[in-house]
Amino acid sequence: MKKIPGLAGRVRVGAPDASLTPVSGVVAVAELVGRLGVTAALDDAVGRIKQRDRGLSGGEFLVAVAQAQMCGAQFWVGLDRRRADTAGEALSAVPTPAASTAVELASRFGPAQVAGIEEGIGEIACRVVGLLPAARRAVLRTGGATIDLDGTDVEVYGAKKEGIAYSYKGARAGRPHVATWAEAGVVTAADLLAGDEDPRPGAGSLIERSVATLNAAGVTARPKVRGDVGYFAKDIAQAAVEAGCDFSLGVTRNPAVWRAAAAIPDDAWRKAERMKGAQVAVCDYAPAGWPPATMTVVRRVKVHATDISADPRARRRRTIPKAQLTLALDGLVGHVYAYSFIATNLDVSTPAKTVAVEAWHRMRTDIEDRIRDAKHGAALRHLPSGSRAANTVWMWGRCWPSTCPPGCRNWPASTTATDEAATTSAPCATG
């Protein structure tokens, strides 16, 4: 023990008290896992991951990985630090495996087990929604469901890691490709791609699996698929329609769509919702080969000439028609318009409906917030294993707990023992 001069009272420096834990919040995690029957739901969906029935089951293992990540683990070794926290372990929902054991277990997750994680998410989401107040439950199940698509690159440094490649930014990376249920904030499907893999070919599978998750959660509304310009592909639009969804996808700026935008009458533009200086209209452009009734919505935003960057690489410059850009840079006009385009089969038959669809599409940035939360200061900053299967489980350890937020935000004040038993044991009906 050493007394530090100048401090009020006495400070003791020595071995930490094993009866204290810095992560007492695991009590809340354990309560939530128990009340929702999370472990059993994941076990039923994932199945066995070991021949002998001892140690952690698949569901328990997934809960342990997620719990360690919630407590700050950014690498597999973080599980060893969790095990060393005696008090925290005593409060945890499940015991934490050693890092070496965890990597071995994670490597056993093949396509069937990973698909089981998504199936389990649907069951857990159904239980969560079932505990919400009736009004909130009705909104989620019948008020409209949006499937957002997006991906993100996770930079890594191991030259021999499986499923890793250099991205277009020049960094060695893996690429989590994620679909979310926007209204509930739930990850419904995800794939781990290499940094150089195009996400578009796999988007149809994400949509199909997301619809299955929504059905398992009791959603009856027709889903809508939303994506940025990186998903501008007729195959994705067709996959959405075949899965029973509508779609709204960003459009690449090509000569045909620029000509269609230039032909929009001045009196057709309407003020956009919640975006200063923006206007919305429909143009006469239908991408070739897309589903029938596809329309293109245009948004333009006034940009003052003095606000245009002189850097030719600036993204904003690419959104301005070349002729207008030249006039602005030469000082011949005071302002120009920057354009964005959306291809959709949603109803845009009136100006009011067009404005509403554009405002709704703009909210697709919600998925970027989900990804940012998963990466910044959190576990998805890294793909810590040399095994692609283990990294996929690591990714899901950060993604599947998103199933619980809608319930946490609106949890009933009290729940009877009968309600808890029904929630944790009764299967949810699909549809």
CA distances from 268 to 8, 141, 261 (A): 72, 35, 11
Amino acid at 65: V
Token output for 235: 């195959």
User: From first to last of its 431 residues, what are the pLDDT tens digits of the chain?
Assistant: 455 566 566 667 777 788 889 998 899 999 999 999 999 999 999 999 887 778 899 999 999 999 999 999 999 999 999 999 999 999 999 999 999 999 999 999 999 999 999 999 889 988 998 888 999 999 999 988 999 999 999 999 888 899 999 998 899 999 999 999 999 888 999 999 999 999 999 999 999 999 999 998 899 999 999 999 999 999 999 999 999 999 999 999 999 999 999 999 999 999 999 999 999 999 999 999 999 999 999 999 999 999 999 898 898 999 999 999 999 999 999 999 999 999 999 999 999 999 999 999 999 888 888 788 888 777 888 999 999 999 999 999 988 887 665 444 334 433 333 343 333 333 464 43
Count Cβ atoms within 10 A of the Cβ of residue 72 and give its class: 0-12 exposed, 13-18 middle, 19 or more buried: middle
CA–CA gap between residue 259 and residue 261 (Å, rounded)? 5
CB 202 within 8 Å of CB 177: yes
pLDDT tens column, 99-150: 999 999 999 999 999 999 999 988 998 899 888 899 999 999 998 899 999 9
**pLDDT for residue 300:** 96
Token output for 149: 């698509």
**pLDDT for residue 408:** 41
Count Cβ atoms within 10 A of the Cβ of residue 346 and give its class: 0-12 exposed, 13-18 middle, 19 or more buried: buried
CB 173 within 8 Å of CB 165: yes
Give all strands (DSSP E) within 195-250, no chain letters. Answer: 223-227, 246-250
pLDDT tens column, 186-197: 899 999 999 999
Choose among 31, 377, 369, 356: nearest CA to 224.
356
CB 186 within 8 Å of CB 120: no
Helices and strands (H, E) in the chain, number of each type: 17, 11
**pLDDT for residue 15:** 78
Task: Give the contacts of 345 (CB within 8 A, at least 6 positions apart).
Answer: 237, 241, 246, 247, 291, 292, 293, 294, 295
**pLDDT for residue 374:** 80
CA–CA gap between residue 84 and residue 392 (Å, rounded)? 25
Token output for 279: 């206007």
Choose among 387, 386, 337, 302: nearest CA to 107.
387
Choose among 401, 396, 370: nearest CA to 114.
396
CA–CA gap between residue 173 and residue 160 (Å, rounded)? 12
**pLDDT for residue 419:** 40
CB 219 within 8 Å of CB 194: no
CA–CA gap between residue 352 and residue 272 (Å, rounded)? 10
CB 217 within 8 Å of CB 122: yes
DSSP 235: H
Q: What is the pTM of this model?
A: 0.87
CA–CA gap between residue 26 and residue 41 (Å, rounded)? 20
CA distances from 389 to 108, 356, 394, 411, 425 (A): 7, 42, 9, 35, 30
**pLDDT for residue 9:** 62
CA–CA gap between residue 66 and residue 358 (Å, rounded)? 36
CB 178 within 8 Å of CB 276: no
Round the CA-based radius of gyration of the chain to a whole number and report it: 25
**pLDDT for residue 428:** 60
CA–CA gap between residue 336 and residue 316 (Å, rounded)? 11
